[in-house]
Amino acid sequence: MNGIIMILVAMFCCLLWGSAFPCIKIGYKLFDIPAGDMWSQILFAGIRFAIAGVMVITFSSIGRKKFIKPAQPKRIITLSLSQTIVQYMFFYVGLAHTTGVKSSIITGIGTFLTLLVACLIFKQEKLTSTKIIGSMLGFTGIVLVNVTGNNLDMNMSLMGEGFVLLAALSSAFSSAFIKEFSKDSDVVMLCGYQFFCGGICMAIVGTLAGGKLVYSGPECILLILYMGFISAAAYTLWSLLLKYNDVSKVSTCKFMNPIFGVLLSFVILKEHNALGWQVLAALILVTLGIYIVNQKKEDA
């Protein structure tokens, strides 16, 4: 795939994922979900992912003019666990026991983990100095946009920072699994059914644990449908990018997620204090990191 096209498609995915940041905040208000109500948040996320799965399966079936049946159940379960259930269960529990700043920084470490898992465990590509330098620049941008103007303590806990790190590790493995499975599997089918199965499981767990959503009007439906679309469109495109490109080149673009999140929060939520010089500096660092990683000439 052409490098520029790959980056543009990846940026579109990151823009969609970035829009999830303000949408989640709006969703918590619309569905009357308190900040510390972890199980209602998991229920909310589960419904979103189940809808995403239905969207992928439905629109793909329409496009192919035949219903996409589930196949390779072991692979669906593997992706459902790593990409949806384990990742987001650990993330939401961890987020409830740490700060948003720490969560963003630790999630940024996920790109390093994705690189290491793809290169050292799955042997899908070589670990080069350009990939390491590019990832370091991107991570520096994430730290800059999150730390400047915020207090960052060094306190750590297993259920807080530890769980967020486990969520990032789960995401890293899911990227490697997608790359591996895409060699002889229909990634769109896997994407749709892993979302649906994972979302249903999360919704059941959230409900049984006492989570609940309060319907306040048609805007609730519109929001949850859009959030389903975010996951359906972004993850399907991302899976296709992983199929045809090196994991490192695609995953580095993910450093744009929190930056788009800050920018869209500024536009949508009017969080004027979220936008400052550090966002521009972070954007420059991330862009430079993506450019370095995507250079054709790589060292051995």
Nearest Cα residue to 257 out of 69, 93, 20 = 20
The amino acid sitting at 105 is I
The DSSP symbol for 253 reads G
99: left (phi over 0), alpha (psi -120 to 50) or beta: beta
pLDDT tens digit sequence for 56-78: 999 999 999 999 999 999 999 99
Q: Mean per-residue pLDDT for 157-171? A: 87
Which tokens go with 50? 């189940």
In the prediction, which pLDDT does 101 show? 62
Q: Identify whether the C-beta of residue 18 lies closer than 8 Å to the C-beta of residue 260.
A: yes
Which position has the token pair 């100095």? 129
Asked if pLDDT for residue 180 goes beyond 90, the answer is yes
pLDDT tens digit sequence for 196-247: 999 999 999 999 999 999 998 999 999 999 999 999 999 999 999 999 998 9
Give the residue ranges of DSSP H helices in 65-85.
73-79
Q: What's CA 256's distance to the chain center, in Å?
A: 11
- Mean pLDDT for the chain? 86
Which position has the token pair 């419904």? 47
Q: How far apart are CA 179 and CA 200, in angstroms?
A: 25
Q: What is the pTM of this model?
A: 0.85
Nearest Cα residue to 117 out of 166, 167, 177 = 177
Q: How far apart are CA 161 and CA 146, in angstroms?
A: 15
